[in-house]
Amino acid sequence: MQTIFLNQAKQAGFSTEVQTFENREKTKGRNIIVKIPGESKQNVILLGAHYDSVKMGPGINDNASGVALLLDLMTQLSTKKIQPKNTIYLAFWDSEEVGIAGSQAYVEKLTAEQLKSIKAYINLDMIGTKEPEILIADGDKSSVDEMEKMLKERGMQEQDYKPLLDGLRSLPSHAGDLALEKTLKEFFKAKNLKIKEDVSTLTASDTAPFLGKVPVTAVILFNEQMKGDELEFAPCYHKACDTIEQVDPKSMQLAGDAVTHLLTVLDKQ
């Protein structure tokens, strides 16, 4: 898989950075960063998708779907010979399924100047889900108030949910988060699609290490289902049946259009 990323970047004429690290299982991981120069070398838009999967499944929706979009974006930027205003980094993260180790290792090595240059981090995860619910990263944490209202209506005692909600409200945030949230909401609403604002998911994927450090958003397509006592984020989530049959090309196209819209808006700022 890593060879595919490096070879495609080489053929496209883009430079790469390979970062090695050790995850909590004491195995070596490798992040691959593809660098696409823009008119501005100081402003970087970072897009990321993890390429590892859980041991019990092939991980086609989670998250070969996100990886495929990054590879397609690399191809588009190469073949169309269009130089973006902002420099674009495409990050292929390793070890997301092992404590979000890859993106964490990357962030830990960034200098203050490098962090400041990142104008947005856009995370791509599970974007091929069939009949999806559009999950929007909640920049202002308004969804926590909605969650509290729902739990009260269900008769839960405050002491049972207050620690969870307090934890969500205390998550680090960046002043630029809300603008990214607004851009994605406007895009999906213009297509008459139902969206769900969520903040808890930000802690469970490669957005987590970036919270509060750079503006963060994510394109995640869910279809939550109860399987016995377990809540699946999407059909066949973390299971052997997470195969190509679980991926909807229309969902992939929607996610790609959303990313293109984000990049277009960010290039105009």
The residues that are catalytic are 96
How many other CB atoms are there within 10 angstroms of residue 26's CB atom?
6
How many other CB atoms are there within 10 angstroms of residue 120's CB atom?
26
DSSP string, 119-173: EEEEEEESTTBSSPEEEEE-TT-HHHHHHHHHHHHTT--HHHHHHHHHHHHTS--
Residue of 161, 237, 223, 162 whose CA lies nearest to 194: 223
* CA of residue 198 relative to chain centroid, distance: 13
Residue with tokens 């958003």: 217
Strand partners, 135: 196, 220
